[in-house]
Structure 1
Amino acid sequence: MASTELATQRALYVGNTISTVVYGGNLFLYAYSTYLLMTSIKQVQRRRFYIGFGGLLLLLLTIALASNNAICELMWIEQQNYPGGPSAYLAANLAAWYNVFGTAADCAANILTDGLMLYRCYIIWGSSVSIIVIPAIIYLGSTAMAVMMVVESAMPMSDIWQGLAARSGISWVALTVSFNIIVTVLIISRLLFFHRRVQSVLTDQQRSTYTGTVAILVESALPFTVLGIAYLATYIQGVPSATAVGIVWGTFVVLTPQLIILRVASGVAWSRDTASNISLTTLHANFPHNSSSSSSSMNCKDP
């Protein structure tokens, strides 16, 4: 077996192993978030939406993971005597319906996650439409390229790593990574702005909740964006490790919104009122005689 073929199969194995672990984390996060949403005594807006949204993402991830495991089981066990070996079987069955179905599920999960990130950016920036115009345009472009890649990968004897399917795939990953970079930078800059603004006003717990390191990492989806950049770099180069990075990136597509939903369920996510409440708190601290009637509470409604 050629070294490249061996490296690709090794990357496939490593990617599936890591994604299975992350899948377990997704299961726990969804179950715990759903429990918090269902038992919360506070009024949680869009409670059913977040439960349904998280469940749909988990279903799509399950389909993608099952697809990867199915092709590996066929390649390494059921069809191990296929002429040319496992690598030849993999190349001949990349356009198999179950493999395309898994790719489509992963793309659908990515589209939903990017949509949620666009909405979260809109909320964190005070419901400003102008701030999300460019990300929205990129989002539409990445959605179109994702659909094109799935269609091309379903063609007989197509290869997601070569030809038109590969070009569509690279365009999709490039656009969605660009989208995530822009949205991440926008969200981080907004949170850092408020962090500096309230540093001497809020308590350590309040700063940690809304503008702390965990809040910035989760709300901005920074780990997902960094992993997307790594996937794009390896995908463009066509190196075998791109397989492992892509599979893990596909699981983080679902992990990222699940973490955001957990913050919503816990009542600590940014909402439409968070920025205004922080501003009122700052105003009350700086000019107490002018803002005695203003509310400085940080107990915001959930988004």
Structure 2
Amino acid sequence: MADYTPNETGSQLFAEKMWLQGALITAVGYGAVLTLYVLAFYLLLSRLDRWNRQAHAIFLVYITVQFILATLFQASSARFTQLAFINNRDYPGGPGAYELAFFYIPVDMLGNIVYVLSNWFSDALLLWRCAVIYSTCRFPLWVIMGFPAVVMMGSVGSGIMYLLQVSTTSPFLPSSANFTIIDSSISLALNLMLTIMIVGRLVVYRFRLKTNFGLSVSQRDYTSVMAMLVESAGLYAAFSLFFIVPFALGSSVENIAFQALSQVQVIAPFLIIVRVSQGKAWSTSTALEITSASEGLGTLKDKVPMAQIQFACASGDDTSMPNAISHHPSVPNSDTTLTTEVV
């Protein structure tokens, strides 16, 4: 069988494979972005008149802007891949060399710009979520969030420098100051910091609730492992690490990670907003609500044997069920009222 392999080195062919596979994975990631956008948009729109109308409207604008940015990046990636592998496939060194040499052309600069903008939006949302989760902390919020906010400003500055650099030269070529790795490192540091802070806070709440009262189903919605990963945008932090390590090592694997990261940094905040729209995300009053509910139920358990407790229907319409709590002589009426509200 004839061999039609291009006259290129093994490293050149490997780099081209990684770039092409990255473009395909990016398309898959965009499909996930589209699905989550439709779901989040529907949930937010359906609850727009129920509560917190202004916040839901802001979220609708946010996800729409992020979706537009993800769409522009996907279009840019597809077009640039076509230019490298189809229109200019005979460029000396192959498609990989073309992509390195023409990283600054308008169609690819579009992808770079929307990538940085999307990164800023994602970091800002995660910073806000961290502030919400720590809003009930005993320490002033500015003390806790001061340093992450400074790092966020550093990420904005390094992103601007990155765009200035790639507008004239490729970030994958040696230079005195490579702002691709600087910007990615600062963003990764910010995400890891916020991820650890958010997960740490939720782990503490989970431990306290489980130790003192046990975990109910509703409380696990806030403190489960899955909730922690979504709330902390752990997926984005993992992919950031997946990009920066091979990039720093000079491996062509970063061609996959860089393109996939563009969609992952949109998927992560979309998952958070879906939880917010479903009422499962941590809010400023969550800690007080679940702690008060647990303490109230724990007090009631000490006063009344569980065998004598009957709970009313959730709808509150069924009055035929006897309420053993209200007829128990050792339970004050105030405790009865509290238990009914908790349920």
Counterpart CA distance in 2 for 1:255 and 1:26 is: 6
Counterpart of 1:23 (choices 23, 26, 30) is: 30
Q: Is the 8 A contact 2:219 2:290 kept in 1?
A: no
- Please say if 1:114 is aligned against 2:123: yes
How many residues in Structure 1 have an aligned counterpart in Structure 2? 297
2:200 paired residue number: 189
Deviations 1:2-43 (A, max 9, x none): 222211111111111111111111111110111111112631
Q: Which moved more, 1:252-261 or 1:198-207?
A: 198-207
Q: Is the 8 A contact 2:158 2:179 kept in 1?
A: yes
- Please say if 1:73 is aligned against 2:82: yes
Counterpart CA distance in 2 for 1:112 and 1:151 is: 19
- Please say if 1:150 is aligned against 2:163: yes
Counterpart of 2:245 (choices 233, 237, 245) is: 233
SS at match of 1:142: helix
Counterpart CA distance in 2 for 1:161 and 1:68 is: 17
Q: Which moved more, 1:166-175 or 1:140-149?
A: 166-175
Counterpart CA distance in 1 for 2:77 and 2:275 is: 30
Q: Which moved more, 1:136-145 or 1:191-200?
A: 191-200
SS at match of 1:198: helix
Flag the structure with larger Rg.
Answer: 2
Q: Which moved more, 1:164-173 or 1:91-100?
A: 164-173
Counterpart CA distance in 2 for 1:166 and 1:91 is: 17
Identify unmatched segments of 5+ residues in structure 1. Answer: none
The structural deviation recorded for 1:44 is 3.7
Identify unmatched segments of 5+ residues in structure 2. Answer: 1-7, 301-330
Q: Is the 8 A contact 1:117 1:183 kept in 2?
A: yes
Q: Which moved more, 1:284-293 or 1:203-212?
A: 284-293
Percentage of matched positions with identical amino acids:
24
Q: Which moved more, 1:90-99 or 1:78-87?
A: 78-87
1:91 paired residue number: 100
1:22 partner letter: G
Matches within 5 A, 1:1-303: 1-40=8-47, 42-45=50-53, 46-126=55-135, 128-155=141-168, 158-164=169-175, 167-199=178-210, 201=213, 204-287=216-299, 292=335
In the superposition, the TM-score normalised over structure 2's length comes to: 0.81
Counterpart CA distance in 1 for 2:268 and 2:340 is: 31
Over aligned residues, Cα RMSD in angstroms? Answer: 2.3
Q: Is the 8 A contact 1:124 1:271 kept in 2?
A: yes
Q: Which moved more, 1:203-212 or 1:132-141?
A: 203-212
